[in-house]
Amino acid sequence: MKVLKFGGTSVGSASRIKEVAHLVCNGEKNIVVLSAMSGTTNNLVEIANHLYKNDRDGANSVINALEQKYFKEIDALYSTNEYKEKGKELIEYHFNHIRSYTVDMFTAFEEKAILAQGELISTAMFQYHLAETGKNSVLLNALDFMRIDKQNEPDMPYIKENCGSVFKQNSGYDIYVVQGYICRNAFGEIDNLQRGGSDYTASLIGAALGVDEIQIWTDIDGMHNNDPRFVENTRSIAKLSFDEAAELAYFGAKILHPTSVLPAKLANIPVRLLNTMKPDAVGTLISHFQEKHRIEAVAAKDNITAIKIKSGRMLLAHGFLRKVFEIFESYKTPIDMVTTSEVGVSVTIDDNRHLSDIVEDLKKFGTVEIDANQVIICVVGDLVAENVGYASKILNSLKGIPVRMISYGGSNHNVSLLVNEKYKKEALNSLSKHLF
């Protein structure tokens, strides 16, 4: 059995849904995890934002427009009057449910319930199409077995127990359709795995059931060795290790959600990245296998802020770094890169929501300098320190480009460099030219 996850673009229209159905009905037993149709989650967020501001007219305007869009897709998706009517009833039910939140006080709990409607609609539409075409399939509700704990992390023992139970109760089907992204929290309320969480859902289900393979289908033919938006003639990478894929996903490769690799890695289940638009393309296989002595890819993470704390008191000062890191921890702000010297420390963050408060607290320890509009360029591969020459090769590729920070040695798979965003395209192209 395999898990096949399809993103919003892959199910973004009636024609795309039909093509996905053709892909998954391949004679094998498959679990199909679907995102909401492309654009839907953004519209649902927009509805929630209107309701937070008590703008019911604005919310209803978006609701009505989105509902009409779905009615058109329903008409194009089904060929029989029976299923056209079922589809119409489905859309009316969910949009009336969304409208019910426009009459009372609106909170974050209601927002989570509204956001869940996108996946609930897309999976029901997909299952109706499978049923209309005579496929042996069943729709399962992810809310019956997907749960996060009080730290908003997946509750893996609960997921494994309940996922196994639900699938056992529904044995005998060829296709199992499940919502991505949505779950319940520790209090039983509707919640989610954050943006990109459908990848996470697929990996968690795959790990819970011990499937043969997890497939992530998008509109790109695998993970590329550089960003095709800025660099010409990039190529897809045939094989990556779990660690390499995680580094690339975290540092800017949008094809894969950063957290989704871990459950598959721990369960030793290979993950394959494939292209819905080019189903015959080889894509990228992610597993424990790693190519030795090789640079695999380059990625870039935008909207980075560098913070330098300079202190004459730092030299040999016991506990200085701990106190600095505790400030970031108190504001729940992760750090990406760290470099130190005897008189200071520089760090980077990609979450500026608490920047002014962080800076005020850091000023207790010395002078603070801020460099905004930075980009982390990440080079990934088998980059262990014993492999002589990789560091110099990477740095020589960036001659003429000012490098603000360098991180090397924290991982055997990653060299990170911080540059101003105005040098991003030049840096990516120069690395491609010299490394590949």
pLDDT digits (tens, 9 = 90+) for 331-371: 999 999 999 877 789 999 999 999 999 999 999 888 999 99
What per-residue confidence (pLDDT) applies to 386? Answer: 58
- Give domain status of residue 224, yes or no: no
What local confidence, expressed as pLDDT, does residue 195 receive? 65
The pair of structure tokens assigned to 321 is 């770094």
pTM of the model: 0.88
Query: What stretches of 78-169 show up as alpha helix (H) in DSSP?
Result: 81-99, 108-132, 156-169
Task: Give percent above pLDDT 90 in the chain.
Answer: 75
Question: What mean pLDDT is predicted for residues 75-88?
Answer: 97
Same domain, 105 and 212: yes
Sheet containing strand 137-139, edge to edge, reads 137-139, 175-179, 30-34, 2-6, 213-218, 271-275, 284-287, 239-241
| DSSP assigned state of 154 | B
Residue 321: Cβ within 10 Å count = 14
- Pairing relationship of beta strands 213-218 and 271-275 according to DSSP bridges: parallel
- Kindly report the CATH number assigned to the domain that includes residue 389: 3.30.2130.10
- Asked if the structure places residue 273 within a domain, the reply is no
Mean pLDDT of 43-58: 95
- State both tokens at 300: 């870039």
CB-facing half-sphere around the CA of 409: CA atoms within 13 A: 4
The Cα 262–Cα 246 span in angstroms is: 8
Q: Are strands 239-241 and 190-192 parallel, antiparallel or unpaired?
A: unpaired
For residue 410, what are the contacts with CB-CB under 8 A and spacing of at least 6?
none
Asked, for residue 282, whether it belongs to a domain, the answer is no
CATH of the domain at 185: 3.40.1160.10
> Do 15 and 148 fall into the same domain?
yes
Residue 314's pLDDT band (cuts 50, 70, 90): low
CA-to-CA distance for 101 and 114, rounded, in angstroms? 8
pLDDT digits (tens, 9 = 90+) for 254-301: 778 778 888 999 999 999 999 999 999 999 999 998 888 788 999 999
pLDDT at position 247 over 80: yes
**99/214 same-domain check:** yes
Nearest to 264 by CA among 312, 326, 207: 207
Q: How many structural domains compose the chain?
A: 2
In this prediction, residues 80-89 reach a mean pLDDT of: 97
Are 330 and 428 in a shared domain?
yes
d(CA 293, CA 311) in angstroms, rounded, equals 40
Mean pLDDT of 174-193: 96
Task: Flag whether pLDDT at 213 surpasses 80.
Answer: yes
* pLDDT value of position 114: 96
The 10s digit of each residue's pLDDT in 178-187 is 999 999 999 9
- Domain range for 410 is 296-435
In-domain check, residue 110? yes
| Distance from C-alpha of 5 to C-alpha of 181, rounded to nearest angstrom | 11
Element (H, E) at 377: strand 367-381
pLDDT of residue 274: 95
Q: What is the pLDDT of residue 383?
A: 73
Does some domain include residue 134? yes
Does some domain include residue 378? yes
Residue 151 lies in a domain: yes
Continuous segment of H or E residues that includes residue 262 = helix 261-267
Distance between CA atoms of residues 125 and 86, nearest Å: 9
Residue 287 in any domain: the answer is no
Pull the structure tokens for residue 228. Answer: 């095709």
Helix ranges (H only) for 347-423 are 355-362, 390-397
